[in-house]
């Protein structure tokens, strides 16, 4: 079983700070990487995906991928209390079809 690891947190940051969420994965044959946000009692919703090494920015969110180190991260700039949620990292592994393997999620709390 391919593995995706996240620090479960909780991670607490003050409003306006940068929140950094990290994820490691076990297989160098990984293909693409996804960050989902999940509010308590709700279903996961996609924030962004990345499949090339480097950075990808979308508004206040930046995903960073380093395949050599098997590491993907999500940075949230100017964090807001509304960003408080669990952030799920998911990996699509090569030659395993369309399924995503999820990490356990990191709980983020943004304090006003």
Partner 1 sequence: GAGVSQTPSNKVTEKGKYVELRCDPISGHTALYWYRQSLGQGPEFLIYFQGTGAADDSGLPNDRFFAVRPEGSVSTLKIQRTERGDSAVYLCASSSLPGHQTSGANVLTFGAGSRLTVL
Count residues near partner 1 (CB under 8 A).
Answer: 26
Residues with Cβ within 8 Å of 43's Cβ and at least 6 positions away in sequence, in order, are none
Question: Please, what is the minimum distance in Å from the beta carbon of residue 52 to partner 1?
Answer: 9
For position 97 contacting partner 1 by CB under 8 A, the verdict is yes
Contact string (CB under 8 A) for partner 1, positions 13-32, x = contact: ------------------xx
Of 45 and 78, nearer to partner 1 (C-beta) is 45
Residue identified by tokens 């991928």 is 65
**φ/ψ (deg, to 5) at 49:** -130, 160
For position 57 contacting partner 1 by CB under 8 A, the verdict is no
For position 105 contacting partner 1 by CB under 8 A, the verdict is yes
Residues with Cβ within 8 Å of 39's Cβ and at least 6 positions away in sequence, in order, are 85, 86
For position 61 contacting partner 1 by CB under 8 A, the verdict is no
Of 28 and 112, nearer to partner 1 (C-beta) is 28
- Whether the CA torsion 25, 30, 34, 40 is positive or negative: it is negative
Cis amide leading into 10 (omega within 30): yes
Q: Which stretch in 12-20, 55-63, 67-75, 93-101 sits in contact with partner 1 by CB under 8 A? A: 93-101
């Amino acid at each position: 079983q391919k593995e995706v690891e996240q620090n479960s947190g909780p991670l607490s940051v003050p409003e306006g700070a940068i929140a950094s969420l990290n994820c490691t994965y076990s297989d160098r044959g990984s293909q693409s990487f996804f960050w989902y946000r999940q509010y308590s009692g709700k279903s996961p919703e996609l924030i962004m995906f990345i499949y090339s090494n480097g950075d990808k920015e979308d508004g206040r969110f930046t995903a960073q991928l380093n395949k050599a180190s098997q590491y993907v991260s999500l940075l949230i700039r100017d964090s807001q209390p509304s960003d408080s949620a669990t952030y799920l990292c998911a990996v699509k592994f090569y030659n395993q079809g369309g399924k995503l393997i999820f990490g356990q999620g990191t709980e983020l709390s943004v304090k006003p």
